[in-house]
A and B are shown apart, each in its own frame.
Chain A
């Protein structure tokens, strides 16, 4: 089984809809991250969390919110989706001793 899973893997939605992307991990890591990736570009950090009670904004948090329900779960919400939020979204985890990150398989989101 994969260490970091994301659901759904693909989603097509309409402008104005509320969308939730979910991430679960079995690595036992405290730190979790949400990124978006646009074609030809690197990863941009949306939100990150160092533990259940810690939530931090990344460089592009506007239009997004997150919830850290448990150490193993970190959800990303788009309150009112817009077309320029069409992108590939990745969840990642890391532990305290090593900052290398482990990525989920990604969610491809299309907003029409």
Chain B
């Protein structure tokens, strides 16, 4: 099975940088996803890592270390609209489905 851990809550200041960590234990691995979910809304896809290293996409970057079972989502130049829950999800090998962590609620303050 999969066990996914991420911090429950984080607070950061507008314009700053924040790193949201995710650790996982899984039997087989096919990729790691990050989703953003604003309160009361549907999750939306942010990033996908299948190989070790950093994937950059605008203000958001995601890092993966498969040997350590570790990923982080890096948000730069924080904006108030970045206040949301960030969900880490792991897809085991050949499963075609993902297991989600409980999410990290990020609050961006002025």
Contact = CB atoms under 8 A, between A and B. Distances in A.
Interface stretch (B10-18, B38-46, B60-68, B76-84): B38-46
A46 B99 CA distance: 11
Contact of A45 (B44, B87, B97): B97
B33 interface: yes
Contact of B43 (A43, A45, A58): A43
Contacts of B87: 42-43
Contacts of A103: 42-44
Contact of B97 (A42, A48, A90): A48
Contacts of A94: 96
A43 B99 CA distance: 8
Contacts of B98: 99, 101
Contact of A42 (B30, B31, B48, B102): B102
Interface of A: 31, 33, 35, 40-45, 48, 50, 58-59, 90, 94, 98-106
